[in-house]
Structure 1
């Protein structure tokens, strides 16, 4: 961290030449990818006052070097536009960085051991928070399961004196122990109703698993609801994002105290990355208050925009909450569930069109995607000329007939390539081979039909690793390199498409394509330098590529040590 601050300070102290024909920074010595189709690759770049002054040949750019110009010599490394996290949870990332990491646990017993170890370091009665467990990735250790989930008995026995809240890797379920249920008043009489489930055993007793919106029953006890805490989370998350080459972040479901924190950080000059905020529909009063005013665009020198609403309309495949047209293959009585009324989706779509707000709907199952497209189509008939850029977040499993409708309606699929890499090995159990092949993770078919894809990681559901995300997009393999040739390889993105999905296409998805997502003249000088060229290196070497330097508005915000 000290080296990061020192590098940024040194670059700022260099100053810029007062001669208007001289750049304050010049980049040369390696491939520079502009992501501009008319000039996709250049030898050198000049920047001034945080924007790209010129790109072109080495000879052209050398003419812009003055006595005070800072030179960045790539020494054979590669530069790209700063990566955009197209769908993540900024404050959630900050929280996850300080909770018990369960993502690599290979059994329920390993989860319990990690939680017990964390509890031993905390005073009795304090909450123990964990994140990232996934029962489909565990070995069979003999643990009791109900409804496909573990039960709290062994967890309660190991950690009886601390309330425990362990979030599923999908973010759509949580496992709590008995003390947590006692505090939240959850017992055999507790039911959530539409949009959520308190999972119970054959005797009607709660198992400790709260599915979908039923997680709200414990959120009141565990969720941070102050702007001060959110500020700490956002600062922590931003530093982590910058270290991963992320210069812009689409925050999918901003809560009121998180937005307050972002604005406070913006006022004090501490909002380190550029945030595109999607207001969470889980707080109707927040959405309603913004619909009464104009969208806020480009605040704090293009570090915060508020012009989007996020609706959470179904669950996840992992928790069998994604709403399907046909039942789950491995649970023939289960179809998933909507978590937001479809009439409400249409009403917010109309309100967004009237007031200039983009509407983005979380939809994973094919029924949720179809219903959302239907509601969007009805709303758009009343406002056919508006540049709406409505989005469906995830668009993970589609009915084949709905694939072409995205481009036809101008709806942008916001997808996470890394989800395919992580989920595909077990997703076939949920959907079966026919639905997997015809409708799951359909990147190439969507692009070929005329749609663009906004790519992200859904952090903290997945690590915020753009290199891994790029690898998943172009290989359709797990991070272990399986299977050979990739899953449903015909749906791979080309490397050019994958790079656009992490840079320019997210800028389009946020109405920012005029100044972000490219290294072109006049664009923001937000860039990332990698140790090797992901556009040309062998596929099996992509995951070895490292983030070397991250630049925001011409200032180095991350520099790899050594």
Structure 2
């Protein structure tokens, strides 16, 4: 063996041997697991033996939905911790005053629930905050942008402006004037055309700034024990960034990539996707899937619902394709044998997507496609059994359901439909495969925060007592499986990762605490002390003292 971890409590995620005392590694893969005395027989002169002090060892976390080039920009105003409008304005005002040299004031992370009554803010709310400089603030879910008057003028947005390449201009229904809100930013602003325009306007969207963010985020991923990252919405141009990170030896985690397919993607572009899939196809860097949207998000009433929004009677939101159009698009991509990640949030969006996947199966024949529905926030109970029946993966982000985030969401959906909000337990009990993720930078990257939320349905403030929709909480083993072996299965990599099993990659993490001995409320306080990818150290905490 090259490396042995001893004096460990190894939770393998392998039903053939659920627990072990030690792990031996050779040539980057698991050589053996089991009783420490047996494993130590593999020691030779070249073996490095590490005593982990009785700590919990897990397979490395698999983050099945992580926008790894977003967030972590020190020159962008960070607003995720802001809880009142006053705090928000003060934060933006402070940054604007401290950076007089910047042409634009950019920010990210503001939450819809900051604003009382559930109303979206307008350009008027930003008057006087940044002087005469334009302000461009992206919401926490990256689906909505908030502009001030100077930004509207700079971007040429007025009452005559229709759709932009990077968003839909929201207008006052009485005056017809722009409100300062751009909707559908994640589907339009993050398209190839939207990106090209924004790079010419906004400093933070340059390729140089994106690469700097990528490097910082890759470091974060290693620190949080994430050994496989699934980037769910990339462009062909992004592949040069990922290749550079690999060449610069900063890509320590394994990376799987879904290429973004906005509405109107041509056959020629799909062929280029197929070429990229052949070119980038190894266990460090792989193009593996195609990303689509069927709807948008709940808070600005743009997710597609079966019945009207509770706070806006008569409005149900719209799907981005008609059902027949979506069936044709999904069937075409399925015929190419691409895996699909489909953003589906509202119950109507989810149903239209399941209908399309069922249609594709009927047209192309059944196969092990493992298509993923992503988010699945407002789910009709009638559609729960269809996940298992169709072999569809439920890729979900537990932190999204935390009550310190969802106030506006819950107001829009109402209590009856909220019974199946982020329905982890209902889906699990119906036999669906859960794959968990952070959706960074929409939420914290740390998987332990996601696990805590799945177990408690509480915010980071520990409220409410008993959690929000506690009937949808799950147990620790289910949550861990969703971040390890089921994440591997969801991404067709269960043959070489996701469990501590002989022959698989030695993608391992050592934790500060045994999660199985902690009350659920304390899980979020645990830390990753050591991350190994292929048996090589990707991260070591300065607090870790290993005994050789």
| TM-score of the aligned structures, taking structure 1 as reference length | 0.89
1:65 deviation in Å? Answer: 1.5
* Contact kept in structure 1, 2:451 and 2:524, CA below 8 Å: no
SS of the residue corresponding to residue 513 of structure 1 reads coil
Q: Which runs of 5+ in 2 are unaligned?
A: 544-548
Q: Distance in 2 between matches of 1:365 and 1:441?
A: 11
1:555 deviation in Å? Answer: 1.2
**Which residue pairs with 1:191 in the alignment?**
162
Alignment CA distance shift 1:386-1:177 (3 Å): same
1:191 deviation in Å? Answer: 2.5
Q: Deviations over 1:473-526 (max 9, x none)?
A: 112222222222222222222211100000111111110000011111011111
**Which residue pairs with 1:12 in the alignment?**
none
Kindly tell me the number of residue pairs found equivalent between the two proteins: 531
**Which residue pairs with 1:262 in the alignment?**
242
Q: Paired residue for 1:544, among 515, 525, 530?
A: 525
1:394 deviation in Å? Answer: 0.6
**Which residue pairs with 2:546 in the alignment?**
none
SS of the residue corresponding to residue 236 of structure 1 reads helix
**Which residue pairs with 1:290 in the alignment?**
272
Q: Distance in 2 between matches of 1:74 and 1:298?
A: 36
Q: Distance in 2 between matches of 1:178 and 1:290?
A: 40
> 2:412 aligned with 1:434, yes or no?
no
Alignment CA distance shift 1:326-1:434 (3 Å): same
**Which residue pairs with 1:47 in the alignment?**
25
**Which residue pairs with 1:9 in the alignment?**
none
Structure 2 counterparts to residues 143-222 of structure 1, below 5 A: 148-192=119-163, 197-201=168-172, 202-213=174-185, 216=189, 219=198, 221-222=201-202
Q: Distance in 1 between matches of 2:500 and 2:146?
A: 45
Alignment CA distance shift 1:348-1:536 (3 Å): farther
1:329 deviation in Å? Answer: 0.6
* Contact kept in structure 1, 2:218 and 2:250, CA below 8 Å: no
**Which residue pairs with 2:432 in the alignment?**
451
SS of the residue corresponding to residue 290 of structure 2 reads strand
**Which residue pairs with 2:212 in the alignment?**
232
Q: Distance in 2 between matches of 1:225 and 1:310?
A: 21
1:417 deviation in Å? Answer: 0.8
* Contact kept in structure 2, 1:507 and 1:516, CA below 8 Å: yes
| TM-score of the aligned structures, taking structure 2 as reference length | 0.91
Q: Deviations over 1:216-261 (max 9, x none)?
A: 3774523766654433222121011111111111111112221221
**Which residue pairs with 1:497 in the alignment?**
478
Q: Distance in 2 between matches of 1:290 and 1:342?
A: 26
**Which residue pairs with 1:24 in the alignment?**
2
Q: Distance in 1 between matches of 2:438 and 2:108?
A: 16
**Which residue pairs with 2:225 in the alignment?**
245
Q: Distance in 2 between matches of 1:161 and 1:85?
A: 41
* Contact kept in structure 1, 2:112 and 2:408, CA below 8 Å: no
CA RMSD of aligned residues (A): 2.4
Structure 2 counterparts to residues 17-416 of structure 1, below 5 A: 23-95=1-73, 98-124=75-101, 126-138=103-115, 140=116, 148-192=119-163, 197-201=168-172, 202-213=174-185, 216=189, 219=198, 221-222=201-202, 227-282=207-262, 284=265, 287-293=269-275, 295-296=277-278, 299=281, 302-416=283-397
SS of the residue corresponding to residue 448 of structure 2 reads helix
Q: Which runs of 5+ in 1 are unaligned?
A: 1-22
